[in-house]
Structure 1
Amino acid sequence: MSAAQALPLMAGCLWLIAANLAAMLPSRDNHRSCATALVVIGVPLLGWATYALGPIAGVGLMAAGASVLRWPLKAAMERLWRLTQ
């Protein structure tokens, strides 16, 4: 594995650690600000990792991110469902 491939993988692992740490912190706004920041950082990171490592690794990282951000993802899907009805 070259450095060009290891760097996005390490950044993705750091993102997952930061997401888990943010989930452990007490929050008055139900972690919405943390989830927003994680999504804003995570989407370009996911694109970078997919470009550098390939689509299989990108899908794996997306699944890992979705498992960490399952409640914001669920809320977004419910909003989308209400808009389409």
Structure 2
Amino acid sequence: MSLSVVLACGWLVLTNLLGMIPSKRNHWPQAYAMIALGLPVLGLVFWQHGVWMALLFLAAALSVLRWPAIYLGRWVKRKLGRG
């Protein structure tokens, strides 16, 4: 396995573990940190394996971090609706 796939799998496992830990702040600081760590991993997967593997990792990441993705979609929809 390549380094990018190992990092992507490790990122997914770490993100799932952080999501299982009880939090009083609804996991938002952890989500921001995991997004910041996940973007370079996504770029590395894209660079080493191409667009299809990067899209597969992105789909897995969005399934783990679904609420930040939902809020981002709502924000974009609001911005485009007023423009």
TM over 0.5: yes
Aligned counterpart, 2:20:
24
> How far 1:84 moved relative to its partner?
2.5
Mapped partners of 1:25, 1:83: distance in 2: 33
**Which structure 2 residues correspond to residues 58-69 of structure 1 after superposition, within 5 A?**
58-69=54-65
- Give the gaps of 5 or more residues in structure 1: none
- Give the gaps of 5 or more residues in structure 2: none
Amino acid of the structure 2 residue aligned with 1:71? W
What fraction of aligned residue pairs are identical, expressed as a percent?
Answer: 35
- TM-score in terms of structure 2 length: 0.91
Mapped partners of 2:61, 2:49: distance in 1: 16
> How far 1:83 moved relative to its partner?
2.3
Q: How many positions carry a matched residue from both structures?
A: 81
- TM-score in terms of structure 1 length: 0.89
Mapped partners of 2:76, 2:24: distance in 1: 25
Among 49, 65, 68, the alignment partner of 2:45 is 49
